[in-house]
Amino acid sequence: MEITKISSKGQVVLPREIREELHLKEGTILVALKKDDLVVLKKIESPILKEDLETLSLVEEAWEDIDKGRFKKMKSKDFLNEIKKW
């Protein structure tokens, strides 16, 4: 987990380790999804691929499940390990 902040121009700097691991370079297209105070960024190809649309749909479904209380609790370490599987 890394911490970053927003500049006066509304820009967010993604930590180097994340940029390198995801091969994010200047001009890479990201989709931003928000739910309450949570923001999720998803790297997409141009034009947008069916796989990207499916991922975005899954994120929205997950938020709906959370709103309806359909989720399981886990320790942060287990959660981070689960995310690495993605």
The pTM (predicted TM-score) of the whole model is: 0.55
Residue 22 · residue 8 · CB < 8 Å:
no
Question: What dihedral angle (degrees, nearest 10) is formed by the CA atoms of 46, 19, 15, 54?
Answer: 50
The answer, yes or no, to whether residue 5 has pLDDT greater than 80, is yes
- Residue 8 confidence (pLDDT): 95
Per-residue pLDDT of 16-72, as tens digits, reads 999 999 999 998 989 888 888 888 888 887 777 778 788 888 888 888 888 888 888
Token readout for 36 is 């309450």
